[in-house]
Amino acid sequence: MDWSDDSLGTIYEGILDDEGGPKCPDECYKHQDQAASADTSGCKGKPLDMSLWPSEKPGEGAIGTGGDWGQRVEVNDMLNTMGQEHMMVLLHEIGHGFGLPEMYVAENKPAGYPANVMDESFTLTDGDGWLLRSVLENIKSRYNF
């Protein structure tokens, strides 16, 4: 690869998953084998927490899934929306990476809650900011910031 900028950390080449897609080394992935926190001591670079996984089958009946491990999105949807202003599925799944809940599920959404990407908005809104703030307030005590 003709790339000299190392500001993003180590760039890995030639490592592929079972579907032939590029991936980082297993020893660098914190959620390897669905682990909450896998051993990353063998990683030569910095371990990673999240990954973007374009896939032909992101989930049963889904065009995307997401969580603290990263985002898995349907590859054709991702490719078809890359040149567009809004990539709603990817944006929604990244929200799950930040701990945001499904807001299109009635029990998760208070009456009158503003539009947000975790529900049906195509763009980030104040509603997403309030969701993120709520998540951070609930986990702040676990971290030193």
pLDDT in tens, 34-50: 667 788 889 888 887 77
Residues 57 and 23 in one domain: no
Residues 61 and 43 in one domain: no
What pLDDT is attached to residue 67? 67
What pLDDT is attached to residue 115? 92
Residues 56 and 35 in one domain: no
Comparing CA positions, the residue from 89, 84, 79 lying closest to residue 121 is: 89
Q: Is residue 5 part of a domain?
A: no
What pLDDT is attached to residue 89? 86
Q: Is residue 3 part of a domain?
A: no
Token pair of 4 as six digits: 């000299």
Q: Is residue 4 part of a domain?
A: no
Residue 21 lies in domain: 10-49
- Reported pTM: 0.67
Residues in Cβ contact with 64 at an 8 Å cutoff, skipping those fewer than 6 apart: 58, 71, 72, 73, 74, 77, 89, 90, 92, 93
Phi, psi angles (nearest 5°) of residue 130? -65, -35
- When divided into structural domains, the chain yields a total of 2
Do 100 and 128 contact (CB within 8 A), yes or no? yes
Write out residues in the chain with pLDDT < 50, as ranges: none
Token pair of 82 as six digits: 């890359």
What pLDDT is attached to residue 126? 93
Residues 68 and 93 in one domain: yes
Residues 69 and 108 in one domain: yes
Q: Is residue 1 part of a domain?
A: no
Q: Is residue 131 part of a domain?
A: yes
Residues 56 and 121 in one domain: yes
Residues 20 and 62 in one domain: no
Residues 23 and 68 in one domain: no
What pLDDT is attached to residue 90? 86
